């Protein structure tokens, strides 16, 4: 008897039973651990994705905070520069006023010194002129004056000359 392509025999039954046993064994030993591994891997990937999303959100939040702080720092820096500029201008103005006051005082002291020197020169000139006038008067009169008359002549001369403007 010639066997056809598919023939029903005990060999086929044993092959089917062996395939079922092999399937159950593989399912218990291989499919279940592989399925659990795949499920665990899938859960790990999902958890990693969620963690990455939360970290991205946190990074965005911190980025916004830093941008806000940076803007605040820039504004604060501009205010500090502005305030320093105002202080520098105020200090310059104060220094200018102090210099003007000091120069005015120096001019006033110089004018007072000039007046004192002028007065001193005038007094010396008056003393010298009175001495010369007395000497000339003494020579003209031809006699010596005593001290009392000498002082009286000087006083009279000074009264006359002192009123005149030099």
Q: How far is CA 27 from CA 22, 30, 146, in A?
A: 8, 5, 158
What range defines the domain where residue 68 resides? Answer: 32-162
Q: Is residue 2 part of a domain?
A: no
Give per-residue pLDDT as tens, 130-159: 777 777 776 666 556 677 777 777 777 777
Residue 53 counted as domain residue: yes
Q: What is the CA radius of gyration of the chain?
A: 62
Note whether residue 8 is domain-resident.
no
- 3-state SS class at 51: helix
Between 149 and 86, the higher pLDDT residue = 86
Per-residue CA distances from 79 to 5, 41, 88 (Å): 97, 56, 14
Q: What is the pLDDT of residues 12-32, one digit of tens each?
A: 888 899 999 998 988 888 887
- Cα gap 40→54, rounded to integer Å: 21
pLDDT band at 66 (very low <50, low <70, confident <90, very high): very high
């Amino acid at each position: 008897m010639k066997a056809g392509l598919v023939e029903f025999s005990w060999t086929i039954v044993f092959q089917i039973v062996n395939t079922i046993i092999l399937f159950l064994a593989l399912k218990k030993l291989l499919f279940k651990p592989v399925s659990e591994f795949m499920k665990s891997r899938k859960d790990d990937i999902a958890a990693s994705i969620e963690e990455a999303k939360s970290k991205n959100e946190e990074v965005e939040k911190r980025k916004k905070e830093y941008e806000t702080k940076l803007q605040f720092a820039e504004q604060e820096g501009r205010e500090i520069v502005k305030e320093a500029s105002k202080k520098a201008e105020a200090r310059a103005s104060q220094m200018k006023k102090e210099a003007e006051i000091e120069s005015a005082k120096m001019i006033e002291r110089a004018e007072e010194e000039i007046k004192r020197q002028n007065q001193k020169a005038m007094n010396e000139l008056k003393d010298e002129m009175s001495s010369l006038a007395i000497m000339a008067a003494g020579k003209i009169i031809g006699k010596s004056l005593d001290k009392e008359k000498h002082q009286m002549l000087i006083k009279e001369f000074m009264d006359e000359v002192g009123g005149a403007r030099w």
